[in-house]
Structures are given as C-alpha cells and as structure tokens.
Amino acid sequence: MDRSITIKIAGKEYPLKVTSPEMEQLMRIAAEAINQKLQAYDSKFPGKEQIDKLAFVTLNEAIARISFQKKLAAMEDAENKLLAETQSYLDNIGK
C-alpha cells in the first residue's frame, strides 16, 4: 500500500513514498518539527547559511535521540533489577 506524498523541509519539497497512514503522519510531524527548529535558528543566527542551521537541527536531534536511548537503557536495567528482586522474593516466600 505505498502512497506518494510530498514533504517540505527548509522550503524544498521532497517526494516520498509511505507504506501506511501512521508513517505518513510521522513524516509530516517530523518535517514540521524540523521546520520549526529551523525557524528558531533563523531568529538566533540570521547570518548563518541554511546548511549550518540544518546541521544544528541534526545535531540537536541526534543528541536528543542518544539521551533518550540512554534513559531507556537505564529504565530497562531498573526494570530487570525489580523483576529479579520480585522473582527472588516470590521464590523465597514459601520457605
């Protein structure tokens, strides 16, 4: 169920194919977020080239992703520890 859509980022249109309505929604939300961040950088750094501002957006998104991955890994570790403690408690409850 491929469908063609057009996403606009930094004033440039990109034709893309999506495989589901959910993917289309995610792409549109992502493009809007990128454009909003670019507008913020336009205000902060009016003399910078567009490519520099796109690099800033990319860097910030990568930092956010890495930070999220670290937090998720810490939460998974905490979950595994709690599961092990719970299982240990349940194993020893009848003893």
Find the Cα–Cα–Cα–Cα dihedral 60, 61, 65, 71, rounded to 10°.
40
Mean pLDDT, rounded, of the chain: 95
- Please report the pLDDT score of residue 94 as a whole number: 73
What does the block give as tokens for 23? 């993917």
**Which residues fall within 8 angstroms of residue 19, CB to CB, at 6 or more apart?**
1, 2, 3
Q: Model-level pTM?
A: 0.77
pLDDT at 30 over 80: yes
pLDDT at 95 over 80: no
